[in-house]
Amino acid sequence: MIFYKKNNADDKLFLELQTKLNLSYWIAADAEHYYQTCKDNINTYDYKRLVKQFDNASSIANEFDTNNLEMSDDHIKAIKILRDFVTYSIKELDFRKKDDNENDDCDVINLAYQQEKFINKFLRFLHKREPECYLQTAYLYFSKGMLSLEDQYWDSKRSSHYLRNRRNYLVNYLNTAIDKIDSGIKDPNVLDFIMDECAIIGIEKFSDKDIDKYINLHIDFMNMWKECITTTKNSYDEILSGNLDEYVEAEEISMLEYTQNNYFGIINELGIKINQMIIDKMNIEFPKTEIFSRRVIKNPMERINEKWQLRL
């Protein structure tokens, strides 16, 4: 953050509040992901545990009080922007609401637009070469790319250039997202910004092994997003080419959804682990968390084997 290293007490409080919000978001995303993947088979016991964990995350975010915070104006402005987005996102991730909602596509679109607004507000508080800046910029272009798939994005589908333009918009946006993350992975300054967080927490609390683990979690997180967006781009590039027959196109979409589901599961797990490590090192009180996404992460070869079994 651009305001770090001016007041250590402010930085420490901000990092604590930011981590609580981030962890609440990732717990909610993890619960929603697991429910949507397993809702046809989930038992009553797991469902109750899932709801309890989701509600705990929601309560922490929604009961978050930004009044009377003793931090600099920039610290406070940034945490309020994050709080507003996290509380909105968790509300939209509530899987109980989704089951009763016939306009789920509209909710997804609205969330993407809200994310774009959040990123545009939040970016001004980030150093251009810190990992969060690379990631948030990539999210921005990834969201723009996925929105370009929605019919509402286009004035008319009747244009002879509709399919080609849709493909070009998507590929260009996703290529930009990939480039942003790739730049972050290759930027040596990223490690310095990661270490800044360790310094705020208290470098004496980290062994060499802890530091390696903390850095690797961040790098793995960026790599998973890069792989996810790359796979999405390559698949849609083929799907929107117009060269596939109906059966092959359906297979390609099915495989993409399966692969994305795995990536999002891994990303949720890494997001929780990164923030849980900060929680532990700062001795912050936070409800115990189970990572449900671990249960549904599969090897892509399992999907291929399932397809062959169905054909036998």
pLDDT along the chain (312 residues), means of 10: 95 97 97 94 94 96 88 96 96 83 65 89 96 96 87 50 75 96 96 95 96 96 96 91 83 90 95 97 94 82 43 40
pLDDT score recorded for residue 158: 47
DSSP assignment letter at 294: G
pLDDT tens digits along 263-287: 999 999 999 999 999 999 999 999 9
Nearest by Cα to 83 from 116, 58, 106: 58
CA distance 183 to 166: 26
Q: How far apart are CA 95 and CA 194, in angstroms?
A: 33
Q: Which residue has the tokens 């969201």?
A: 143
Taking a C-beta distance cutoff of 8 angstroms, is the pair 129, 220 a contact?
Answer: no
Of 12, 7, 57, nearest to 284 by C-alpha is 12
First-to-last alpha carbon distance for the chain, in angstroms, is 56
Please give the Cα distance from 72 to 67 (Å, whole number): 13
Q: Give pTM, 2 decimals.
A: 0.90
